[in-house]
Amino acid sequence: MSQILEQDIRNAVGKVVDSDLGFSLEQLNAIENVQIDEKNVSLYLELIPPIHWIAKKIDDEVKNVIKSLAPNHTIQILVKEKEIPRISNAGVLPNVGHLIAVASGKGGVGKSTIAANFAAALAQKGAKVGLLDADIYGPSQPTMFGMAHEQMRADKTEDGRVLGFPNEQYGVKVASIGFVMERDQAAIMRGPMLAGYFTTLVEQISWGDLDFLVFDLPPGTGDIQLTLTQKIPLTGAVMVTTPQEIALADVRRSISMFRKVNVDILGVVENMSYFVPPDMPEKRYDIFGKGGGKLAAAEANASFLGEVPLTLATRSGGDEGLPVVLNPDDFTQGQRLRDITGNIVKEIRKVNLKRLERPVVQISI
């Protein structure tokens, strides 16, 4: 009876589809083990990471399937993540699961705001998150996380190296040149020195174990971007733009640069998409144009991750040190950014699926 029930469970659970990836659990070879006794069913699944957004959905669907077959059993679902091989520089930041660049071709498009809210939304979901503020000339993250006057602790190791420790706020570990420089001090340095500072931030920070490390890059396609792609095994890059053509031209160049160095484009976020006056919710103003982000994504054959309208709470949150995704008084804007974060995570999972040697088992019908 148990053996038949076990095979029935495998067959039924195997038909459950991972909606992010569009394949069944059987095709994804996700069912690792089934254990059954008179009172309990324990199912062990191995899913494509990261699973923070998809785990509960799959857990609920699988439990419903098993409940229909074993209605009197207690059901336990245990999930772990598949190990995804890195395509390069496997020894760099080995304790970080996913390394995500947030980039823009042009300054002033709100890239740092998107990066801050992306990191905060990941932490909201229970992920262990780090945020590296790689904009040496204009570090924004200390202000955006309410740590503008903080300094970064550093210790000297036994071998004489200096090791820094990121500051932590809202569950996000943050490292920035802004914790080292005075607030109004100018960073005056040429390309090689710029790249050297970035390398120091990467190699001499004790991040610990992280699910995600988000890189808030400076605008453009300069030394830091090239150093990043040469030294860091990036999972992928998120591009941020505003709708108008002058920003789109630069984001196209950034996408081209990342693809030339074999970095996957996770998609395009359109920031400052429109403005709805709080006292006139029936009105909408497309201040910077309309539809540019979707167009840039379509031209690049990349995913369009979503629109982020201008809101007063987003601006004030950045100035006052509370990312709007954490502000309960602006739930709608926060939910838009959480949805975009979920879309980014979905694209990360697709990239990880491609990196497996045998990603999908073909099933004959």
The DSSP string of 58-117 is HHHHHHHHHHHH-TTSEEEEEEEEPP---SS-TTSSTTEEEEEEEE-SSTTS-HHHHHHH
Domains 2-81 and 96-355 share a fold: no
Contact 240, 217 (CB under 8 A): no
pLDDT (0 to 100) of residue 196: 66
Q: Regarding the domain delimited by 96-355, which CATH topology (the fold level of the hierarchy) does it fall under?
A: Rossmann fold (3.40.50)
List the CATH code of the domain at 2-81: 3.30.300.130
For range 229-238, the mean pLDDT: 90
pLDDT of 314 over the 80 cut: yes
pLDDT of 42 over the 90 cut: yes
pLDDT-based confidence at 303, cuts 50/70/90? very high
The residue with greater pLDDT, 350 or 197, is 350
CA distance 164 to 170: 19
pLDDT-based confidence at 159, cuts 50/70/90? confident
pLDDT (0 to 100) of residue 207: 93
pLDDT (0 to 100) of residue 357: 67
Paired with 130 in beta bridges are 173, 213
pLDDT (0 to 100) of residue 251: 86
pLDDT (0 to 100) of residue 157: 78
| 202-223 pLDDT tens trace | 788 999 999 999 999 888 766 7
Whole-number mean pLDDT of the chain?
A: 88
For range 309-322, the mean pLDDT: 91
Angle at 111 between CA 124 and CA 120, to 5 degrees: 10
pLDDT-based confidence at 360, cuts 50/70/90? low
Ranges 12-16, 148-152, 275-279, most confident:
12-16
pLDDT of 275 over the 80 cut: yes
Sign of the C-alpha dihedral computed for residues 193, 113, 148 and 166 taken in this order: negative
Order of strands across the sheet that contains 74-81 = 31-36, 40-47, 74-81
pLDDT of 47 over the 60 cut: yes
Q: Percent of the chain scored above 90 by pLDDT?
A: 60
Domains in the chain: boundaries: 2-81, 96-355
Residue 192: CB partners within 8 Å, gap ≥ 6? 223
Q: pTM for the complete prediction?
A: 0.90
Contact 202, 175 (CB under 8 A): no
